[in-house]
């Protein structure tokens, strides 16, 4: 598998234009809220596509690594640092005004309980359910569709969901998170047997009591960094 954080760069060559190509970073930021998968969008306050919703991002200045630029944008928009981030793909043609522009797209998973969105009227950020998106600028619908497909596939062989959950969680909360990404219910017994058998999670030895319900055992990911099965 190609390392998701590496890209190919071109500094130009003889016979080609010496102008620096326009490169931007785009970050698809997901959270799970009340069993629904949501994506963070910003309302554009300037041209092009003024007034439309779009994925957060910005022009790459070349002074920092692309992944560092994506991480900085994440912190700017959410304040979250304990998260899952990986490069999704590189694509051109998203901006009709700059057909040769290149966008390097990243996908991030954050725990909504740790997020503090920017409180600004311009370029206002807001969460939107993936299944009920408004009309988006720059063909961003396709970017989100591919990001959802990538994360769904990742759940089969990685611990990527750690980015969506707090440090300690119940198996019911873990299953709800997986179901939100999968977009379908999962068999409770099979899900728990599989998760406990992967070694990706472990019991904390603690219980959480919620009202009159039976106390629930708490779990945690063995590592809060990418792990492959």
Q: Which residue has the higher pLDDT, 95 or 55?
A: 55
Condensed to tens digits (0 to 9), the pLDDT of residues 85-123 reads 999 988 876 776 666 688 899 999 999 888 988 776 677
Query: Around 82, how many Cα atoms within 13 Å sit in the side-chain half-sphere?
Result: 12
Cα 141 from Cα 146, distance rounded (Å):
9
The alpha carbon of 119 is separated from its chain's Cα centroid by a whole number of angstroms, namely 21
Residue 187's contacts (CB-CB under 8 Å, 6 or more residues apart) are none
- What pLDDT, on a 0 to 100 scale, did the predictor assign at position 87? 93
Residue 7 has pLDDT above 60, yes or no: no
pTM (two decimals)? 0.85
- What pLDDT, on a 0 to 100 scale, did the predictor assign at position 116? 87
Q: Which domains are delineated in the chain?
A: 23-154 (3.90.79.10), 167-221 (1.10.10.10)
């Amino acid at each position: 598998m190609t390392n998701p954080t590496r890209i190919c760069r071109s500094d130009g060559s003889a016979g080609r234009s010496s102008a620096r190509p326009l490169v931007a970073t785009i970050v698809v930021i997901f959270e799970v809220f009340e069993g629904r998968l949501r994506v963070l969008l910003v309302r554009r306050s300037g041209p092009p596509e003024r007034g439309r919703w779009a994925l957060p991002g910005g022009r790459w200045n070349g002074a920092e690594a692309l992944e560092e630029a994506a991480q900085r944008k994440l912190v700017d928009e959410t304040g979250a640092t304990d998260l899952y981030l990986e490069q999704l793909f590189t694509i051109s043609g998203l901006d009709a005004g700059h057909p040769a522009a290149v966008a390097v797209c990243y996908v991030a998973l954050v725990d909504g309980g740790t997020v503090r969105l920017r409180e600004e009227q311009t370029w206002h950020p807001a969460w939107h359910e993936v299944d009920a998106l408004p009309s988006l600028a720059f063909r961003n619908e396709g970017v989100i569709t591919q990001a959802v497909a990538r994360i769904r596939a990742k759940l089969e062989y990685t611990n990527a969901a750690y980015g969506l959950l707090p440090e300690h969680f119940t198996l019911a909360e873990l299953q709800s998170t997986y179901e939100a990404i999968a977009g379908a219910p999962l068999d409770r017994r099979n899900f728990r047997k599989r998760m406990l058998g992967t070694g990706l999670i472990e019991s904390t030895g603690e219980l959480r009591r919620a009202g009159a319900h039976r106390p629930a055992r708490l779990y945690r990911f063995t590592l809060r960094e990418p792990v492959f099965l």
